[in-house]
Amino acid sequence: NFTFDRTRALKIFELIKKEKLNIRFRFKSRVDSIDKELVRRAKEAGAYLISLGVESGSQRILERMKKRITIEQSISASEIVMKEGLKLNTGWIIGYLGETEETIKETVKLILKIRPTTASINILIPYPGTSVYYEAKEEKLLVGDWDLENNFIPWVRLPWIKSYQQLQNILRWVKNKVYYRPYYIRNFTKEIFCNFNLLLFRYAFYETIKSFR
């Protein structure tokens, strides 16, 4: 979280300009750290993209995550970033404890409302030491566990989920709902062919292949 210490972040932007480093960079931030002044000074220093961890379109799930943000803050921060002319990446998690089909639809709805440049959507990984890991274990919803002897990644089985494959299918459905729309198809095509973005081309290619499996 680059903007955790706002004073430090602004000082770094100032020094980049002072030293005329002429660099382009991206950074991660919380939505409640974003305001017009910070974004403008970041852009002047060379920032071209800000990544925000929005996580969910459900206020109830955000509260369960102890995220300490609101849907309104996420919308406002996203609008500020894009209105100032920077690209916006947003991070989202599917399958947190308490997740339902309805909360997943709320997440899709919020992504489509914000319309970020890109959306990183992933299934929850219950890392050891996190509160969700211990909660899932206590509620007997943790499937598997972390072990240095193998590379199995534990996951959280929600009461209405029968298998990890079902969770992957839901993730694929969410991505298809978001990206197979004229807005993203047009923007991605422009970015790939006009700006020769090979990284985005590879990502789009593999995601398209997976969506048809």
Q: What is the pLDDT of residues 125-180, one digit of tens each?
A: 999 999 999 999 999 999 999 998 989 999 999 999 999 999 999 999 999 999 88
CA atoms within 13 A on the CB side of 106: 17
> pLDDT by residue (tens digit) across 72-126?
999 999 999 999 999 999 999 999 999 999 999 999 999 999 999 999 999 999 9
Residue 23 in this model has a pLDDT that exceeds 80: yes
Residue 126 and residue 138 in contact, taking contact as beta carbons nearer than 8 Å: no
Angle at 29 between CA 24 and CA 30, to 5 degrees: 160
In whole angstroms, give the CA distance from residue 213 to residue 209.
7
H helix and E strand count, the chain:
9, 6
Q: What is the pTM of this model?
A: 0.88
DSSP letter assigned to residue 163: -
Which residue would you say has higher pLDDT here, 105 or 203? Answer: 105
More confident residue, 37 or 191: 37
DSSP state of 154: P
Model pLDDT, residue 84: 97
- The first and second tokens of residue 117, run together, are 């440049």
Q: Is 137 helix (H, G, I), strand (E, B) or coil?
A: helix
- DSSP assignment of 7-38 equals HHHHHHHHHHHHTT----EEEEE-GGG--HHH
Question: In angstroms, how far is the first alpha carbon of the chain from the final one?
Answer: 36
**pLDDT of res. 90:** 97
